[in-house]
Amino acid sequence: MRSLVFLLVLVLFCSVPMTSSAPLAANVANCCMEFSNVKIPVRLVKSYYWTSSSCARPAIVFQTFAGKEFCIDPETTWVNGHADKVDKRTTSATTAKTQSPTV
Protein backbone atom coordinates (compact mmCIF):
# COMPACT_ATOMS: atom_id res chain seq x y z
CA MET A 1 0.00 0.00 0.00
CA ARG A 2 2.84 2.39 0.81
CA SER A 3 4.47 1.82 -2.56
CA LEU A 4 1.19 2.67 -4.33
CA VAL A 5 0.85 5.94 -2.41
CA PHE A 6 4.51 6.73 -3.05
CA LEU A 7 4.03 6.08 -6.78
CA LEU A 8 0.95 8.31 -6.90
CA VAL A 9 2.76 11.16 -5.13
CA LEU A 10 5.74 10.74 -7.46
CA VAL A 11 3.55 10.94 -10.56
CA LEU A 12 1.80 14.07 -9.28
CA PHE A 13 5.09 15.68 -8.34
CA CYS A 14 6.60 15.01 -11.77
CA SER A 15 3.57 16.23 -13.71
CA VAL A 16 3.37 19.67 -12.02
CA PRO A 17 6.62 21.08 -13.52
CA MET A 18 5.69 19.87 -17.00
CA THR A 19 2.31 21.60 -17.00
CA SER A 20 3.58 24.85 -15.52
CA SER A 21 6.34 25.26 -18.13
CA ALA A 22 4.18 24.57 -21.19
CA PRO A 23 3.03 28.17 -21.81
CA LEU A 24 6.59 29.45 -21.58
CA ALA A 25 7.76 26.93 -24.17
CA ALA A 26 4.94 27.95 -26.54
CA ASN A 27 6.00 31.62 -26.44
CA VAL A 28 9.65 30.86 -27.13
CA ALA A 29 8.72 28.97 -30.30
CA ASN A 30 7.45 32.23 -31.86
CA CYS A 31 10.67 34.12 -31.20
CA CYS A 32 13.56 34.55 -33.62
CA MET A 33 16.88 33.33 -32.30
CA GLU A 34 18.86 34.72 -35.24
CA PHE A 35 18.22 37.05 -38.18
CA SER A 36 18.54 36.37 -41.89
CA ASN A 37 20.97 38.58 -43.81
CA VAL A 38 19.22 37.95 -47.14
CA LYS A 39 17.20 40.77 -48.71
CA ILE A 40 14.03 39.09 -49.88
CA PRO A 41 12.55 40.42 -53.14
CA VAL A 42 9.25 42.10 -52.28
CA ARG A 43 7.45 40.27 -55.11
CA LEU A 44 8.06 36.99 -53.20
CA VAL A 45 6.63 38.27 -49.89
CA LYS A 46 3.05 37.18 -49.21
CA SER A 47 2.67 38.57 -45.68
CA TYR A 48 4.52 39.47 -42.53
CA TYR A 49 4.05 39.58 -38.77
CA TRP A 50 5.87 40.85 -35.70
CA THR A 51 7.17 38.45 -33.08
CA SER A 52 5.74 38.51 -29.57
CA SER A 53 6.69 41.34 -27.24
CA SER A 54 7.85 38.70 -24.75
CA CYS A 55 10.72 37.73 -27.06
CA ALA A 56 14.21 38.85 -26.10
CA ARG A 57 14.83 40.34 -29.57
CA PRO A 58 12.02 42.00 -31.53
CA ALA A 59 11.80 40.81 -35.12
CA ILE A 60 9.62 40.95 -38.19
CA VAL A 61 8.93 37.67 -39.98
CA PHE A 62 8.33 37.76 -43.73
CA GLN A 63 6.34 34.86 -45.19
CA THR A 64 6.85 34.04 -48.86
CA PHE A 65 4.38 32.59 -51.34
CA ALA A 66 6.47 29.40 -51.21
CA GLY A 67 5.71 29.07 -47.48
CA LYS A 68 9.15 29.99 -46.17
CA GLU A 69 9.61 32.37 -43.23
CA PHE A 70 12.52 34.73 -42.71
CA CYS A 71 13.31 36.47 -39.42
CA ILE A 72 14.56 39.98 -40.12
CA ASP A 73 15.95 42.62 -37.81
CA PRO A 74 13.42 45.49 -37.81
CA GLU A 75 16.33 47.98 -37.85
CA THR A 76 17.29 46.79 -41.36
CA THR A 77 16.88 49.60 -43.90
CA TRP A 78 14.63 47.80 -46.42
CA VAL A 79 12.17 46.30 -43.91
CA ASN A 80 9.79 49.27 -43.67
CA GLY A 81 9.56 49.60 -47.45
CA HIS A 82 8.69 45.93 -47.85
CA ALA A 83 6.07 46.08 -45.09
CA ASP A 84 4.46 49.16 -46.68
CA LYS A 85 4.33 47.52 -50.12
CA VAL A 86 2.79 44.34 -48.71
CA ASP A 87 0.22 46.43 -46.81
CA LYS A 88 -0.70 48.37 -49.96
CA ARG A 89 -0.95 45.17 -51.98
CA THR A 90 -3.17 43.57 -49.35
CA THR A 91 -5.48 46.57 -48.95
CA SER A 92 -5.84 47.13 -52.71
CA ALA A 93 -6.71 43.44 -53.23
CA THR A 94 -9.31 43.60 -50.44
CA THR A 95 -10.82 46.81 -51.87
CA ALA A 96 -11.04 45.30 -55.35
CA LYS A 97 -12.88 42.24 -54.00
CA THR A 98 -15.41 44.26 -51.99
CA GLN A 99 -16.37 46.61 -54.82
CA SER A 100 -19.14 45.26 -56.98
CA PRO A 101 -19.18 46.06 -60.69
CA THR A 102 -21.90 48.42 -61.86
CA VAL A 103 -24.17 47.09 -64.58
Single-letter amino acid, residue 32: C
Q: Is residue 18 part of a domain?
A: no
Q: Is residue 71 part of a domain?
A: yes
Question: 87 is in which domain, residue-wise?
Answer: 30-98
Give me the CATH number covering residue 76.
2.40.50.40
- Predicted confidence (pLDDT) at residue 13 exceeds the cutoff of 60: no
Q: How far apart are the first and last CA of the chain?
A: 83
Tell me, what DSSP letter sits at residue 56? S
Q: For residue range 36-76, what is the model confidence (pLDDT) as tens digits?
A: 999 999 999 999 999 998 999 999 999 999 999 999 999 99
Number of domains composing the chain: 1
Give pTM, 2 decimals.
0.62
Q: Is residue 81 part of a domain?
A: yes
